[in-house]
Amino acid sequence: MAASLEDTLDGLLPQTQCTRCGYDGCRPYAEAMAAGLAGPDQCPPGGAGTVAALAALLGVGAGPVNPEYGAEAPPRVAVIDESICIGCAKCLPACPVDAIIGARRMLHTVVAGECNGCELCLAPCPVDCIEMVPAAPAPLALEAIRARSIHYRARHDAHRSREAGRDARRAAHLSARRPAGDAP
């Protein structure tokens, strides 16, 4: 079966799920482009190379990343200051690739090799102890972005699957505690 336009566009995106494009992740952005609702220049992590690939597929002109959405930049990774972390665990569900390890009331740490630099863990941290630090001196080449995207997509799929399992268990638990005859 031939891949849909959405699938092909999504396959060209970096899969950091950072939302800088203005959509709730790479797939929603791909769907918006396929529907003619978004242009190809809204993904800073993908850079100009990704804009060109998306534009070619859409049959529109290419250019640089639109600065309204951010700038193409060298990759960064998150680092947690463990002397400040209070172990609240609020950063854990925010990470789309489960790159943070820790448990409630324990110090948390970022697995640098798995962090994609999306920055989604920064806002939930109540004590601002997560900092972004450079991970490379220059923006990644398109081939490296593509190679990493395959890994990040697999990690994100696993993250969503774990979330869905947890939600189902929670719903089953609440349902079991509800008195018989109560409407959901």
For the bound state, the minimum distance from the C-beta of residue 57 to ligand SF4, rounded and expressed in Å, comes to: 14
For the bound state, the minimum distance from the C-beta of residue 83 to ligand SF4, rounded and expressed in Å, comes to: 11
Q: Toward ligand SF4, which CB reaches closer, 86 or 141?
A: 86
Q: Which residues neighbour 108 within 8 Å (Cβ) at sequence distance 6 or greater?
A: 80, 82, 85, 87, 89, 91, 92, 100, 101, 102
For the bound state, the minimum distance from the C-beta of residue 71 to ligand SF4, rounded and expressed in Å, comes to: 12
Q: Which residues neighbour 98 within 8 Å (Cβ) at sequence distance 6 or greater?
A: 92, 114, 155, 158, 159, 162
Report the candidate in 35, 28, 69, 24 with the shortest Cα–Cα distance to residue 51: 69
Reduced to 3 states (helix: H, G, I; strand: E, B; else coil), residue 96 is coil
Q: Toward ligand SF4, which CB reaches closer, 3 or 103?
A: 103
Reduced to 3 states (helix: H, G, I; strand: E, B; else coil), residue 137 is coil
Q: Toward ligand SF4, which CB reaches closer, 34 or 97?
A: 97
Return residues touching ligand SF4 (CB under 6 A): 13-14, 16-21, 23, 25-26, 29, 43, 45-46, 78, 80, 85-91, 94-95, 97, 99-100, 102, 108, 110, 115-121, 124-125, 127, 129-130
Q: Toward ligand SF4, which CB reaches closer, 126 or 179?
A: 126
Q: Toward ligand SF4, which CB reaches closer, 11 or 180?
A: 11
Where would I find the H helices in the chain? Answer: 5-11, 26-34, 47-58, 142-177
Tokens 């630090």 -> residue: 133
For the bound state, the minimum distance from the C-beta of residue 108 to ligand SF4, rounded and expressed in Å, comes to: 4
What angle in degrees, to the nearest 10, is found between the helix axes of 47-58 and 142-177? Answer: 80
For the bound state, the minimum distance from the C-beta of residue 15 to ligand SF4, rounded and expressed in Å, comes to: 6
